[in-house]
Structure 1
Amino acid sequence: MKKTLLAIAVSLSCAACSNSVSSSGTSSPADATSPSSSVYLDTSVDIQTRVKDLVAQMTLEEKIGQMYNDAPAIERLGIPAYDYWNEALHGVARAGKATVFPQAIGMAAMWDKELMHSIATAISDEGRAKHHFYLNEGLSYRYTGLTFWSPNINIFRDPRWGRGQETYGEDPYLTGELGVAFITGLQGDNPDYLKTAATAKHFAVHNGPEISRHSDNYVVSDKDLYETYLPAFEKAVVEADVEAVMCAYNRINDLPACGSDMLLKDILRGQYKFDGHVMSDCGAIRDFYDPEAHDVVDAPAAAAAWAVTSGTDLNCGTGRLSTFANLNFAVQKGLIDERLIDQAVERLFMTRFKLGMFDDASKVEYAGISMDVVGSSEHQALTEKASAASMVLLKNNGVLPLDKNLKVAVIGPNANNEDVLLGNYNGLPINPVTPLEGLQQYLGKEQVTYAAGSAVIDDIYGHAEILDSRVLFHEADNGKLQSGLQGKYYKLASSPITDFTQLSFPTELSGDPVLTRVDNAMDFYFDRSPVDDTVLGNFGVVWEGVIKPERSGQYQFDSQAQISIDGSAVTAPVTLKAGQAYPIKITMHFADDKISNTSAIMRQQFTVRWVNTSEDLQARALANAKEADVVVVMAGITPRIEGEEMPVKLDGFNYGDRTDIDLPDEQKALLKALKKAGKPMVLVNFSGSAMALNWSNDNVDAIVQAFYPGEATGTALTKLLYGDINPSGRLPVTFYRNLDGFADFDDYAMQNRTYRYFTGEVLYPFGYGLDYSNVTYTDLQLPKTLNVGEDLSFSVTLNNNSEHTAGQVTQVYLHMPDAPVRVPQTELKGFSHDEVKAGSSTTLNMTIAADTLVYIDDNGAKQPYTGTLEVSVGDGQPQYANADKVQKANITIRR
């Protein structure tokens, strides 16, 4: 009977279903018999009825198991194992090769809803293809599913936050509009099935500090909550019908976000009418009882019961395991009614049914998307377009576009650093092009010189190189050295865990090598095991030979592998002499992590890199600069030092966050030294957050803010620098001069934060960006009066007085001076990204909806505005845009 049911669990092929079902973690109670009903398999019945039929046949233990992110199989019901955890922030992430688009903050800089929707559509195409590929191989690892935990629509309220790169910036309106475009692109437009399930996160009031996010209590006023922190979530639910919401780690007004009735019951399901499922951020339920976190309950069962009662349906546990495993005990002790568990499981299975996981694949149009779409030429062209659109020209004294006949010195720690292409939460790029490679391909290598110039910061380098056949050798049968290392590939044997303080299964090489070959470069992506050709299979490798440095120096190695040189383990920089052969051994076990349900080889490329830390990097850079006609400096920071809860403690950086917003000292020194060379200098800054580029603004000739622009960075950046592409990006965050006047990082009051409330002097304002064209604004036509409840419609003329076609971002800002409460000093309420041909004019018609013409009172309620309304339409905020690039008018709104 089990086999028959598995055969008709029709979202899967027979082979895939039987392979994906595992007895691990499933219960075997006495009453766990064959299903009493198969209504859940009948596609002529509505989904809600089917879901209720299926859940009603589960035992309590089975239902609880389905509330883990890595839900086990229920074989008797034909339910395969499924892991809800997948990521798609700016491309399918951590699931092998995929098209990598610009980081989220860069996509926000595009200010382009249509392009954002196209990107999300491409991502969901690749996600669907990958899911079915792995499904057909019988694999249900983390990162193989259709439930994507993206986008991150938190507000980037403070430039110190390391995860701000994952957001769409500091403005609630821009964030909400782009979030809707991204969500609808992920979820598709089929009336019967979701393409993928998007997740709006982190609900709510979540944006640092990283180091204390598990214990912080953020006290926010009703006004700030509804005016700043919630609007994007409301749009995600009400306008985009997002399928899932992730609750945050932090407490809000004393209650954990994943146990907040105010957030989850009153606002999310009450006011917004959300009908999808809610998951915890990973480990957030444990934070309820962890003495080093919130510590608001004494026991896991109480935490689990609290979270589910408030409306958290799914527990992402990660290495902390699943607190929801204690729900059985919570039911037994009367802490929670089983009906609430039924409700949670039904919500979860509604998502799986909407995705077509229990229907014949022929009925689900998205199931036919093939792996050919992954990294397709269309998607590569799209990411190049997005990369160019995400870059913001901050300064240009006329040096750009560059002359193609000039000899270029490319300098900087990020010039050949693949990290800055990718950001975080990324996939493995199909065709990564670094800035250096892009310029070399465009101009020819003979016209381009290169020097790193400095470290990124401290002992973190951007120019580490792959160990390859230039320095790696092995002894051939004839006794002579030949290029490459000899690699011996083994099967792995796994042992039971004996040390429960370290939850990983020990592995060892098993038997004789299955494969022996020469590998010329320590740079691999294994989509299949080399020892048995299974998709994502386990194996171990020992590479041996000698390493012969071309230059003497102290070398720092970067790899997850165990490395020994001359018989000694490499745990610190090693001094090596040029031309001397040193025995080297590199050992790596590629073993799945059963605890986290992750594959050893799908998440990242395996490399061994090294860098000579004793070189005088600045001297070489200066020598190159003196011989060049123009200097292009690729500087900034990297996702290795800003990001999520990172073990990084450096000057200016604190566990992923920042303590100042300057360039690292090493890079400031490099720029000042290069200035003395007297050559025209262009700075390209890579960062996921705002930088205080004060000295550069005063001293270099042009500045491009690149954020983390995706795998086509080098190609797109080069075209932008040489005028083949006209810059169109605009800042989604304010670039401040310093942090003077900022409140403490963990102070969540919005006073003096973001462009809406900041009263100090800024370096580059929110919405700012230059280009090679000259678009002016004239003839703003709008009514003089408006009644409450009426939309505001208007037109404006854009005139391109240049030889460059423009991708013009028109921004609409409103101010409500007659509001009876504090309101933003100016506030974005509309935008449009339009092409304006060289030498032409176009009239743009726009409408601001009546429900946007409101203010938030001190109780957090929306109130229709009456009185004078100050309207600004143009290229930037009214107080910063040039007079010919903005049109302003006042209208009166009456009751």
Structure 2
Amino acid sequence: MTLNKILPAFLLFSLFSCSHSLQKHEDANFSFEQRADYLVSQMTLAEKVSQMSYESPAIDRLAIPEHNWWNECLHGVARAGVATVFPQAIGMASMWDREQMFEVANAISDEARAKHHNFAAKGKRGIYQGLSFWTPNVNIFRDPRWGRGMETYGEDPYLTGELGVQFIKGLQGDDDTYYKLIATAKHFVVHSGPESERHSFNATPSQFDMLNTYSPHFEKVVKEAGVYSVMCAYNSYNGLPCCGNKSLSNLLREDWGFKGYIVSDCWAINDFYMPNAHEVTSSKQEAAAMAVKAGTDLNCGDSYPSLVEAVKNGLISEAELDVSVKRLILARLKLGLFAPKGAVKYEKISYDVVDSEMHRLLALQTARKSMVLLKNKNNLLPLDKAIKKVAVIGSNANDLEVLLGNYNGYPSAPVTPLDGIKQKLPNAEVKYAAGCKLAEGLPIFEAIPSSVLFTDKACTKNGLAAEYFNNKELKGEPTHSRIDSNVDFVWGTTPPFEDLAYDEFSVRWTGVIKVKESGDYALGGEGFLGMKLFIEDSLIVDRSEVHHPHKEYEYVQLEAGKSYSIKLEYIQDNTEHAMMRLLWEKPNDNLAEEAIAIAKEAEVVIFCMGISPLLEGEEMKVKVEGFAHGDRLDIKLPRTQTALMKEIKKLGKPMVLVLLNGSALAINWENENIPAIVEAWYPGQAGGTAIADVLFGDYNPAGRLPLTFYKSVDDIPAYSNYDMRGKTYRYFEGEALYDFGFGLSYSDFTYSKLKTPDHIAPGDCVEISVDITNNSKIDGEEVIQCYAANPQAGGVNPNKSLVEFQRVMIKAGECKTINFTINPDQLMIVDEQFKKTVLAGELKISVGGAQPTAKRIRERKVLTKTILVEGSAFVMDK
């Protein structure tokens, strides 16, 4: 459609007169759509294409500033310097708390807005500095082996959708004109590993599974939250890459009414033509054209610049590009990026909201709410604060990485579990020992000490020779040269020298490493972007292309007394968190002995075990048995940990197990032999305080599992099988170790007086009330769960499904009546014609603190009632 057909003549003349205000896109006389149409009409082909990549350059003549679309805020503003870090997404899901999810997202978007305006005021518009965020990850955690499951809200589409809606609303704000941020629901669609196959895998779910499991939560966040961006997945769906699949964009736009833009996962378009990937096109031009024709408006990657030639070669028309460019310009207008100063209320958010005391308290409250009490035999917990000797064992007890998970920011004052326990017991003797590696082959890192580092081969002076450059290329003469005793720097936004820009400098350290004991040493480091480590001129670690900090290492055999040259290079490139740490693990055969020694002296042993973001995550290089590419090959707790706990159990001490992990664990021996178990996930900056609060009774745990803990990987189908039969609580026929929805409390709740109608018509809502009594002397929160089952449902429909939940505080001795309404869309099944239908016949409703078939629900009852649905089946609209 031409501009002439959209705008009246007098408006057209006014627009083309290019007044100063219009050039800055500030004229409120015109709608966002009119302004977007005008801007696109004024762009050249090359300019249009430039705006379709995540790094969108400025177009000065149209007063369009540079814009980078890539930002992350999974559980706090990520990779942009200091920020409040909340529990990892799977931990927040364990709260089962809509209101808390909204408050967390609202706090995150406050910090994101404040950060963006601070960046923009300094002329910074690079990666991790904008207002469009690639969050949340609402994929279904269908298999515990998936390394990225920690980023999700668990295995249930209803819980995922409800929490996703609140998170998106908290991010996008409540203004009628401008978005606070733009949220992105990802990864569309049918995406949950394996990580090693994600660039080539073709998901072919049944229509039953697509409608029952893989799409409902995406539909919900589009229709109920108005999410304005969707990220298409790497994998193929029914034979076509998701980012080149017109049926998926049609589902979003035509069936669900999605109004925003679609962004590719990063470098996903390259998979269209790369060897050993999807290979559905022969060139970058064809791939880019295919993606845009399928509705993928924005490219995270380097494929879309080829669209200029693709248009010239007739693979796609310029008019087809205009559709996508308009969507992207419209998004920027709706963020207020072209608005006059003062027009957007979110500009007023002060920078002091970042890492504010209020947000720190919110992080603590959220971490507390995420804790799940899995076992408490003989009420061992809460522990007595008068205790005098405590042994804290496990490398997860004192590791910052397990607080933060992945896609994280950087807290100013993180509290590890060891720190939290020490702070809780200022008068006790709290001793710590790692005891064992988390898994065989995963180092326990520490900074390489100055005592083994030397400036020259003669080994006469400790430290490394450091050269600091006021550029990102290690070029020219260094601005500063000095001897650094070792490399263990977390500069943040404070540069090592005042005349260096904290976000654009580079450093080279050189010298010698000389050890006193021969053996295999894990040598590596942790830096934000560019990091290269050389031993004897051999490159052993290369993270020069990675945009986020992560420990990387290689095992190297070193001989005692021999000098080895060492060189470390670091580049800080336009990011808000400068850090470089040179790390190692030296040979140590005494880990278990140290742990047993402190356990013998202790009155209670607190294990901090689990896994780590170094083992599970996104397409990682992992060289540890039982893990591959970020995924898990098994779901057992690594045997190094169980072996240590078995030895310490022989001492007969009271034992508590705190798990820190992002996915379900088969802790069969631990469940049988350790009296108290707490699931803490990756709990964020306040995790240590929250854990100590739960262990010592200052907080009554009420978290519930958002996924099933199976007893064995042999209990579930193959990981690469996307058929839902046998997976998640909705289809699993076996006995779980801990059920979806499971979690204990220090309080004792009972249910009574369940009221539902005896009869309803298909399409009716179901009004429910139930009384809940706290029979204990402890105030506590209870998560009320309502499940529905359709015994007459055929096909591949769930055995039962969560249809409602509420988290409610109930005081000691109090009885509360809880009322809620089940909407008919929660009662539907998929019929043989693949229509969403509410069937006539029996409908079983259960209400309680757990699933109706859960084994370990203590004294809490689950009440069940059968409702007769009378009349003809009710077919849901689209």
Please say whether Structure 1 and Structure 2 have the same fold, judged by a TM-score greater than 0.5: yes
1:224-239 equivalences under 5 Å are 224-239=209-224
Shift in Å at residue 745 of structure 1? Answer: 1.4
Partner of 2:333: 353
Partner of 1:891: 867
Three-state SS of the structure 1 residue aligned to 2:396 is coil
**Which one-letter code corresponds to 1:48 in the other structure?**
E
| 8 A Cα contact 2:467 2:482, kept in partner | yes
Correspondent of 1:405 among 382, 386, 395:
386
Identify which range, 39-48 or 833-842, moves more after superposition. Answer: 39-48
Identify which range, 113-122 or 290-299, moves more after superposition. Answer: 290-299
| 8 A Cα contact 1:490 1:541, kept in partner | yes
CA-to-aligned-CA distance 1:240-280 (integer Å, 9 cap, x gap): 00010000111111111112122111x10011110100011
Q: Does 1:466 align with 2:447?
A: yes
| 8 A Cα contact 1:515 1:531, kept in partner | no
| 8 A Cα contact 1:566 1:582, kept in partner | no
Separation in structure 1 between the aligned mates of residue 708 and residue 751 of structure 2, nearest angstrom: 23
Q: 1:272 to 1:225 in 2, by over 3 A?
A: same
Three-state SS of the structure 1 residue aligned to 2:479 is strand
Correspondent of 1:419 among 392, 401, 411:
401
Separation in structure 2 between the aligned mates of residue 156 and residue 564 of structure 1, nearest angstrom: 39
| 8 A Cα contact 2:570 2:580, kept in partner | no
Correspondent of 1:184 among 154, 158, 169:
169
Correspondent of 2:53 among 68, 92, 111:
68
**Which one-letter code corresponds to 2:414 in the other structure?**
P
Shift in Å at residue 491 of structure 1? Answer: 2.4
Partner of 2:208: 223
Partner of 1:104: 89
Shift in Å at residue 605 of structure 1? Answer: 3.4
Shift in Å at residue 736 of structure 1? Answer: 0.1
Q: 1:186 to 1:554 in 2, by over 3 A?
A: same
Correspondent of 2:376 among 392, 396, 408:
396
Gap regions ≥5 residues in structure 1: 1-32, 495-506, 593-598
Shift in Å at residue 888 of structure 1? Answer: 1.3
CA-to-aligned-CA distance 1:61-119 (integer Å, 9 cap, x gap): 11011000111111111111111011111111111111111110111011001001110
Separation in structure 2 between the aligned mates of residue 604 and residue 214 of structure 1, nearest angstrom: 32
Q: Does 1:753 align with 2:727?
A: yes
Three-state SS of the structure 2 residue aligned to 1:508 is coil
Separation in structure 2 between the aligned mates of residue 70 and residue 625 of structure 1, nearest angstrom: 54
Q: Does 1:668 align with 2:642?
A: yes
CA-to-aligned-CA distance 1:646-674 (integer Å, 9 cap, x gap): 11143211111111101112112111111
Three-state SS of the structure 2 residue aligned to 1:49 is helix
Separation in structure 2 between the aligned mates of residue 303 and residue 575 of structure 1, nearest angstrom: 48
Partner of 1:10: none
Partner of 2:5: none
Shift in Å at residue 614 of structure 1? Answer: 2.2
Separation in structure 1 between the aligned mates of residue 689 and residue 450 of structure 2, nearest angstrom: 27
Q: Does 1:708 align with 2:692?
A: no
1:714-863 equivalences under 5 Å are 714-863=688-837
Q: 1:591 to 1:404 in 2, by over 3 A?
A: closer
Q: 1:46 to 1:333 in 2, by over 3 A?
A: same
Q: Does 1:386 align with 2:366?
A: yes
Separation in structure 1 between the aligned mates of residue 421 and residue 487 of structure 2, nearest angstrom: 24
Identify which range, 774-783 or 231-240, moves more after superposition. Answer: 774-783
Separation in structure 2 between the aligned mates of residue 809 and residue 743 of structure 1, nearest angstrom: 30
| 8 A Cα contact 1:35 1:76, kept in partner | no
Identify which range, 222-231 or 422-431, moves more after superposition. Answer: 422-431
CA-to-aligned-CA distance 1:155-186 (integer Å, 9 cap, x gap): 01111111101100000000000000100000
CA-to-aligned-CA distance 1:704-750 (integer Å, 9 cap, x gap): 11111111111110011001001111000000000224222111111
**Which one-letter code corresponds to 2:34 in the other structure?**
T
Q: Does 1:615 align with 2:589?
A: yes
Separation in structure 1 between the aligned mates of residue 21 and residue 174 of structure 2, nearest angstrom: 35
Separation in structure 2 between the aligned mates of residue 69 and residue 717 of structure 1, nearest angstrom: 40
Separation in structure 2 between the aligned mates of residue 565 and residue 748 of structure 1, nearest angstrom: 45
| 8 A Cα contact 1:531 1:539, kept in partner | no
Q: Does 1:147 align with 2:132?
A: yes
Q: 1:381 to 1:471 in 2, by over 3 A?
A: farther
Q: Does 1:212 align with 2:197?
A: yes
Partner of 2:8: none
Q: Percent of aligned pairs with the same residue?
A: 47
Q: 1:139 to 1:37 in 2, by over 3 A?
A: closer
Separation in structure 1 between the aligned mates of residue 346 and residue 95 of structure 2, nearest angstrom: 28
| 8 A Cα contact 2:513 2:566, kept in partner | no
Separation in structure 1 between the aligned mates of residue 104 and residue 469 of structure 2, nearest angstrom: 40
- Give the count of matched residue pairs: 832
Three-state SS of the structure 2 residue aligned to 1:177 is helix
Three-state SS of the structure 2 residue aligned to 1:358 is coil
Q: 1:874 to 1:829 in 2, by over 3 A?
A: same
Shift in Å at residue 365 of structure 1? Answer: 1.1
Three-state SS of the structure 1 residue aligned to 2:713 is coil
| 8 A Cα contact 1:39 1:45, kept in partner | no
Partner of 1:4: none
Shift in Å at residue 851 of structure 1? Answer: 2.6
CA-to-aligned-CA distance 1:558-614 (integer Å, 9 cap, x gap): 31556689999986446587xx9989966433243xxxxxx3x53563222333322
Correspondent of 2:27 among 28, 34, 42:
42
Identify which range, 236-245 or 280-289, moves more after superposition. Answer: 280-289
Identify which range, 876-885 or 155-164, moves more after superposition. Answer: 876-885
CA-to-aligned-CA distance 1:769-813 (integer Å, 9 cap, x gap): 011110111111121111222211111111011122112110010
Separation in structure 2 between the aligned mates of residue 715 and residue 242 of structure 1, nearest angstrom: 34
**Which one-letter code corresponds to 1:606 in the other structure?**
M
| 8 A Cα contact 1:176 1:231, kept in partner | yes
| 8 A Cα contact 2:207 2:834, kept in partner | yes
1:187-336 equivalences under 5 Å are 187-265=172-250, 267-317=251-301, 322-336=302-316
1:274-673 equivalences under 5 Å are 274-317=258-301, 322-397=302-377, 398-406=379-387, 407-444=389-426, 447-462=429-444, 464-467=445-448, 487-492=466-471, 507-514=473-480, 516=482, 522-531=488-497, 533=499, 536-542=502-508, 555-560=521-526, 572-573=555-556, 587-592=568-573, 599=574, 601-602=575-576, 605-673=579-647
Shift in Å at residue 435 of structure 1? Answer: 0.8
Separation in structure 2 between the aligned mates of residue 242 and residue 119 of structure 1, nearest angstrom: 17
| 8 A Cα contact 1:211 1:655, kept in partner | yes
Separation in structure 2 between the aligned mates of residue 431 and residue 124 of structure 1, nearest angstrom: 20
| 8 A Cα contact 1:515 1:530, kept in partner | no
Identify which range, 175-184 or 781-790, moves more after superposition. Answer: 781-790
CA-to-aligned-CA distance 1:430-485 (integer Å, 9 cap, x gap): 211111111112213851111101111123134x223567988999xxx9989x87
Three-state SS of the structure 2 residue aligned to 1:307 is helix
Identify which range, 301-310 or 148-157, moves more after superposition. Answer: 301-310
Separation in structure 2 between the aligned mates of residue 451 and residue 352 of structure 1, nearest angstrom: 52
Shift in Å at residue 338 of structure 1? Answer: 1.6
Separation in structure 2 between the aligned mates of residue 758 and residue 106 of structure 1, nearest angstrom: 23
Q: 1:78 to 1:167 in 2, by over 3 A?
A: same
Separation in structure 2 between the aligned mates of residue 374 and residue 550 of structure 1, nearest angstrom: 46
Partner of 1:865: 839
Over aligned residues, Cα RMSD in angstroms? 2.8
Shift in Å at residue 299 of structure 1? Answer: 1.9
Q: 1:469 to 1:333 in 2, by over 3 A?
A: closer
Three-state SS of the structure 1 residue aligned to 2:477 is strand
Partner of 1:6: none
Three-state SS of the structure 1 residue aligned to 2:807 is strand
Three-state SS of the structure 2 residue aligned to 1:793 is strand
